[in-house]
Amino acid sequence: MKVTPLDVLYGSGSNLTLSCSAESSPPAQFQWALNGTLLYNIGPELSLENIQASQSGSYSCWAHNTRTLRYQISEPSDITVLEPISGAIITTSPNPPIIEGNSVTLTCDASGSIISREWMKDGQLLSAGGNMIISEDKRVLSINPVKRTDSGEFLCRVSNPISTADAKHDLIVNYGPDGMEIKGPTEIEVGQKFTLTCSADSNPPASYTWMLNGTEIPGHSPEFTKEKSEYSDIGDYTCTATNDVTRNKTYVVHKLSVKVEDYLSPGLPAGAIAGIVIGVLLVVGGAVGVAVFFIRKNGTNAEPMHQGGSQQPVYENPLPVYENTRQNQSPPLPQTVSKPWSPGMSLHVCILLQSYCNKPDEFA
């Protein structure tokens, strides 16, 4: 005695037909049972239309010989009626936006007879490990802590032997700004065009502001360009990046020097300053040397004139020396230098040497 077919899967709404056979004389009478409970259906064939999941179970056939009064029960046929999968969906907690460093939970649900679930990210099958935890029934996927690399397309595939349904969710992890840098020149010449470019790792993209030496520059572009630079463009350029979702901000500073007449601002190089000082010292030294030369030359060639054109010897004497060119003239002032003034000597030289020059009143 047997029932065919055995262990069959049916979708909800399908038609079911089972057959029972037994060797008996006279022919046996048949009655059907579900999970051991007799049904009203009789005959060697059981036909059910539009079956539902509630009709799943073990179907058996009872054969009865009216003469021998013997009964025989067939091996059960396990019939499974499955509801097709539909309405698959992934929900997240908390609700977006998802911030890096926090946690997020993805839950996969669907209608129908769910036999299995599996998770994938960007087409690759996921398994528990690292910052990912998957529940035993694979309904829930938890990520803690969530990283920026966890951004991507998550797929939950729900299936049973007769149907499959997929649910997708784009996970967006917001982060930054960080990793800031400014690219651009550090030295330029007056009149030269220059561009500074500010960048940061941020999702969503950061907004930018610029400052020069603490004064805000209008605009919110990651690039700052000036067609013709000026000396006033020297200083510290500060770029600040702000993420409006994470509420984080950070900044970086770029120093820019401006060349003026082949010298880097803000001051002359040490070598140039040393050269100027040496040049000034050489000029002053040369001037003093020339002055001393002429003083000595004039002092050597000078001969004091005496009334009547005759020469008069001059004697070195630490005591005051008096010269009387007229009888009725009052005595002259004391002479404190060893050599008298001559017409070829400069009065400025006398003053420079802090000496008194004795100048005759008249010359022969």
pLDDT digit string, tens, across residues 318-348: 444 434 444 444 444 444 444 444 444 444 4
In the chain, the number of structural domains is 4
Share of the chain above pLDDT 90, in %: 59
Which DSSP string corresponds to 163-208? EEEEEEEEE-EEEEEEEEEEES-SEEETT--EEEEEEEEEESPPEE
Of 264, 291, 325, at which residue does a domain stop? 264
The residue-averaged pLDDT of 307-324 equals 41
Predicted pLDDT at 305: 41
Residue 179: inside a domain: no
- Provide the residue range defining the domain that includes 68: 2-82
pLDDT at 1: 63
**Pairing between strand 140-143 and 132-134?**
antiparallel
End of a domain among 171, 201, 221? Answer: 171
Q: Looking at the domain assignment, is residue 357 inside a domain?
A: no
Mean pLDDT, residues 204-215 taken together: 97
Let me know if residue 329 belongs to a domain. Answer: yes
Give 259's contacts (C-beta < 8 A, 6+ positions apart): 187, 188, 189, 190, 265
- Residue 346 and residue 333 in one domain: yes
Mapping DSSP to helix (H, G, I), strand (E, B) and coil, where does residue 290 land?
A: helix
* Domain shared by 293 and 320, yes or no: yes
Do 235 and 253 sit in the same domain of this protein?
yes
54: domain CATH number is: 2.60.40.10
Same-domain status, 98 and 148: yes
Looking at the fold, whether 197 and 236 belong to one and the same domain comes out as: yes
Say whether both 98 and 55 belong to one domain.
no
Same structural domain for residues 138 and 155?
Answer: yes
Q: Which of 69-78, 202-211, 336-345 has the lowest mean pLDDT?
A: 336-345
Nearest Cα residue to 335 out of 307, 311, 314: 314
The predicted pLDDT at position 355 comes to: 43
Query: Does the pLDDT at position 259 exceed 70?
Result: yes
Cα dist from 227 to 233, 256, 328, whole Å: 12, 15, 87
Name the domain boundary from 50, 67, 82.
82
Residue 355: CB atoms within 10 Å: 16
3-state secondary structure 307-331: CCCCECCCCCCCCCCCCCCCCCCCC
* C-alpha span between 63 and 32 (Å, rounded): 9
260 and 276 part of one domain? no
Q: Is residue 64 part of a domain?
A: yes
- Is 342:302 a contact under the CB 8 Å cutoff? yes
Residue 72 has pLDDT above 80, yes or no: yes
Residue 283 within a domain: yes
pLDDT at 290: 64
**Residue 155 in domain:** yes
Please give the structure tokens belonging to residue 238. 């500060």
| Residue 243 in domain | yes
Based on the fold, state whether residues 260 and 284 are members of the same structural domain.
no
Alpha-carbon distance of 152 to 166, in angstroms, equals 16
156 & 199 share domain: no
What tens digit of pLDDT does each residue of 45-69 get? 999 999 999 999 999 999 998 888 8
Is residue 358 domain-resident? no
Same domain, 98 and 78: no
How far is it, in rounded angstroms, from Cα 229 to Cα 260? 11
Predicted model pTM: 0.63
What pLDDT was estimated at residue 318?
42
Instruction: Quote the pLDDT of residue 23.
Output: 85
Pairing type for strands 194-203 and 8-11 reads unpaired
**Counting beta carbons within 10 angstroms of the beta carbon of residue 181, is it exposed (0 to 12), middle (13 to 18) or buried (19 or more)?**
exposed
167 and 92: one domain?
yes
Give the pLDDT mean for 196-216: 97
Q: Which residue has the higher pLDDT, 161 or 360?
A: 161
What is the reported pLDDT for 195?
Answer: 97
CA angle 99, 101, 104 (to 5 degrees): 65
